Amino acid sequence: MDTSVPAGSYLAAVRDLNGLQTNYQIIQQIKASGGRMNQHSIPEFCAFLEKIGHSVKDLDKLNVIHVAGTKGKGSTCAFTQSILTQLSEQRRAEGKQPLKIGLFTSPHLIQVRERIQINGQPISQLDFAKYFYETFDALRSPHPPLRKVSVDSPSMPMYFRFLTLMAYHTFLREQVDVAIMEVGVGGEYDSTNVVQQPVVCGIASLGIDHQNSLGSTIEEIAWHKAGIIKPKVPVVSVEQVPEALKVIEERARENDAELQVVKPVDDVELGIQGVHQRANAALATELCRTWAQCTHNVAASESYIARGLQLASWPGRSQSFPSPRVPSLTWHVDGAHTVESIRACAKWFSSTSSPCVLLFNAAHNRDARMLLETLHTHASCTFIGAVFCPNVSTQRADSNNFTVQKDDELVAQWESARVWQELTGNP
């Protein structure tokens, strides 16, 4: 135990959070179990919720907007939060009650508290520590005993599931008017999917990703993503490839849920760059419009939608900014990690005419060669150099990445460098 970290502090909470099981470990266990762990995940999460004093029914108070997808779900949530913020301001100006808006998203860029936001701001370090230990201590207490779903059920949720649990607890304690919940992986068995009566569900663009846990075909992946659809709850989707849309339509029909497929917005200024963001903006627009109608939180006009789209921001996604140290240097940052998102990123990034240096990182479970080949094919800018870095941070405790294997010899980075040299012909 690190005695230099005050008990109950934010740093102590981050330390204890980092000590929980990680996504990488869970994925390996799911693979070894042949998928049986997935089938227990929601019942186990219900038991965790009960253990900390909440029922599944309590989550209905949060008026949840639930968003799944392979790429774009985070940006969709950012647009949604921004639109609802402008709706809240417009309601305030009309003399109506403003909204308290919760957002749960992942991953974080710098501090883990970024994952749980209220009214567009990460919860404070003080509140993070408070709600963390309310959740953590309740789970560790012998009373009431944890209801075990199976003999193999864990006594403590792993990292992401714990943060989902903590987010639901925080939003209930803070009495938010709406909780925007971004799915972690998949949908059907994701811990966010414990909510049974969301107000509206959204499905962003689907593609091939997380094959080990979701399946290797677009149909299998679509089945998991569409698992967030609930009986008689409206669902909105962006345009999908026919195979994926067919599965979404089938799951919507099974749940008697009205499905709306939206086309990308046009002639609207967006705060998040990239042509591909127009589909995410359209999805967010319809999610907010549906939510406002279903919860009777409408305003006198829908002018708040355009303002919300224009003012939206999402750090690390299609983001450009000047270097604080070298003003003549511009950073173009994006978290693309699938072939489809790399292709969209390359199209956005190619808008620059200056010589470029590539700074690239791919986790061990990513096909770096395929990502680099896609980037090289679709990026029209001139790369004069490339740097390949690992998933390592020594600056902050909550930037420690335990979701990938430790690789002191930088094997993956050397292999990426070799692939890039092969593609570009540069030494």
pLDDT digits (tens, 9 = 90+) for 266-281: 989 999 988 889 999 9
**102: β partners:** 118, 179
| Residue 161 exposed, middle or buried by CB count within 10 Å (0-12, 13-18, 19+) | buried
What confidence score (pLDDT) does residue 208 get? 66
Tens digits of pLDDT across the chain (427 residues): 556 788 899 999 999 999 886 655 555 665 565 554 478 899 999 999 999 999 999 999 999 999 999 989 999 999 999 999 999 999 999 999 999 999 999 989 889 999 999 999 999 999 999 999 999 999 999 999 999 999 989 999 999 999 999 999 999 999 999 999 999 988 999 999 999 999 999 999 998 665 566 776 999 999 999 999 999 999 999 999 999 999 999 999 999 999 999 999 998 999 998 888 999 999 999 999 999 999 999 888 999 999 999 999 998 887 888 888 988 888 888 888 778 888 888 888 776 667 788 898 887 667 888 889 988 888 877 888 899 988 766 666 676 665 555 666 688 889 899 999 998 887 6
Q: Find tokens 């006198």 and name the residue.
A: 300
pLDDT at 112: 95
Q: What is the pLDDT of residue 76?
A: 98
Q: Which pLDDT value is given to residue 362?
A: 80
Contact 272, 318 (CB under 8 A): yes
Name the token pair of 361.
């990182």
Length of the chain: 427
Residue 297 CA to residue 391 CA, distance in Å, equals 43
Could you give the CA distance from residue 418 to residue 210 in angstroms, rounded to a whole number?
Answer: 25
Question: How confident is the model at residue 36, as a pLDDT?
Answer: 47
User: What are the C-alpha distances in Å from 65 to residues 192, 198, 298?
Assistant: 11, 6, 16
Q: Could you write out the DSSP letters of every residue in 73-127?
A: HHHHHHHHHHHHHHHHHHHHHTTSPPP-EEEE-S--SS-GGGGEEETTEEPPHHH
pLDDT digits (tens, 9 = 90+) for 18-46: 988 665 555 566 556 555 447 889 999 99
- pLDDT of the residue at 400: 65
pTM for the full model? Answer: 0.89
* Burial class for 231, CB neighbours closer than 10 Å (0-12, 13-18, 19+): exposed
Q: How far apart are CA 287 and CA 301, in angstroms?
A: 16
